[in-house]
């Protein structure tokens, strides 16, 4: 597997690491990079991540035999922009990241031994899906396929919800008059529960909006459960609290969670 021209749309940590890894794994004659920020483009050039900096995504994809982009909510954008070429676009979600962003933290091993979820479109012929699978496998990723709906519901539940709930608790306490005193008593449980509340508010706002439908469904279901728990607390219903807490504790103890996958997991 060898590519003539990779068009890289977005030259940050994720895209840059993809380009580096692909160079090593498969060989790429030329990486044409576009990034909205001029300084990012220049940094990527200087680091040798890209061979040429392009002034637009359209310029980058000219003559490309592989296009790599890392913007969120990319499927609807691709539908609008690619039109008859949509069959070439196989959406993928790498479960990888770092706590730090930016091209300066580029890492050719970023996707190695990480899950990579392909969510093929109805427009993708099976040979395109296979080709996409091969590209990611060449980078060392463990590839699995999921419907877009199952993908969105899963990440709403195990990633977007924890972030929203963690942001909400810190925002609640911080906006209270006695918030600072309360935070002074925070221990290890609070520290871990709210670690992700220090995440980028802009990135998570965008993720919440991009996955709004699935997140809305999970949030509504969660709020219904909190309604029940509030009733149980208010009426001193220990049996109900015990049932919910026990269900959770048993599930959390028995589930095999993956190893840490970088701190900026989604």
Ranges within 63-122 binding a copy of itself (CB under 8 A): 95, 115, 117
Rounded least distance, CB 29 to a copy of itself, Å: 35
Q: For a copy of itself, which is the closer residue by CB, 27 or 242? A: 242
Q: For a copy of itself, which is the closer residue by CB, 58 or 150? A: 150
Stretch that binds a copy of itself, among 36-44, 63-71, 129-137, 168-176 (CB under 8 A): 168-176
Q: For a copy of itself, which is the closer residue by CB, 138 or 183? A: 183
Assign 7 to helix, strand or coil: strand
> Quick one: CA dihedral 214, 217, 220, 223, positive or negative?
negative
Stretch that binds a copy of itself, among 4-12, 17-25, 42-50, 247-255 (CB under 8 A): 247-255
Q: Which of 241, 50, 229 is nearest to 41 (CA)?
A: 50
For 20, counting Cβ atoms within 10 Å of its Cβ (0-12 exposed, 13-18 middle, 19+ buried), the class is: buried
Query: What residues pair up with 66 in beta bridges, in sequence order?
Result: 6
- 216 touches a copy of itself by CB under 8 A: yes
Which DSSP symbol is given to 86?
A: G
Residue span 222-241 as binding mask against a copy of itself, x where in contact by CB under 8 A, dash where not:
xx-xxx-xx--xx-x-x--x
Cβ-based neighbour number of residue 166 at 10 Å:
19
State both tokens at 248: 């959770």
Number of shown-chain residues binding a copy of itself (CB under 8 A) = 94
Rounded least distance, CB 72 to a copy of itself, Å: 13
Rounded least distance, CB 6 to a copy of itself, Å: 27
Rounded least distance, CB 232 to a copy of itself, Å: 8
State both tokens at 225: 């459960």
Total number of residues shown for the chain: 266
- CA dist 59 and 110 (Å) reads 27
In the region spanning residues 117 to 146, those forming contacts with a copy of itself, defined by CB under 8 A, are: 117
């Amino acid at each position: 597997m060898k590519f003539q021209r990779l068009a890289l749309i977005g030259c940050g940590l994720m895209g840059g690491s993809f380009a580096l890894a692909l160079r090593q794994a498969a060989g790429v004659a030329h990486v044409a990079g576009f990034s909205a920020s001029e300084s990012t483009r220049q940094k990527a050039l200087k680091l040798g991540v890209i061979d040429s900096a392009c002034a637009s995504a359209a310029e980058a994809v000219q003559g490309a035999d592989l296009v790599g982009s890392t913007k969120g909510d990319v499927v609807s954008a691709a539908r609008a922009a690619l039109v008859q070429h949509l069959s070439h676009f196989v959406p993928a979600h790498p479960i990888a990241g770092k706590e730090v962003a930016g091209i300066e933290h580029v890492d050719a091993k970023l996707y190695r031994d990480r899950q990579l979820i392909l969510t093929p479109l109805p427009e993708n012929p099976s040979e395109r899906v296979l080709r996409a699978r091969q590209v990611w496998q060449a980078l060392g990723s463990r590839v699995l396929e999921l419907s877009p709906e199952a993908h969105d519901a899963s990440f709403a539940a195990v990633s977007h919800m924890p972030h929203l709930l963690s942001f909400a608790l810190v925002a609640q306490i911080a906006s209270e008059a006695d918030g600072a005193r309360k935070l002074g008593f925070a221990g290890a449980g609070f520290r871990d529960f709210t670690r992700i509340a220090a995440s980028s508010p802009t990135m998570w706002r965008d993720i919440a909006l991009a996955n709004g439908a699935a997140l809305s469904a999970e949030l509504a279901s969660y709020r219904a459960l909190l309604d029940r728990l509030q009733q149980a607390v208010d009426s001193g219903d220990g049996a109900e609290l015990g049932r919910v807490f026990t269900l959770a504790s048993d599930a959390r103890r028995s589930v095999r969670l993956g190893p840490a996958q970088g701190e900026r997991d989604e």
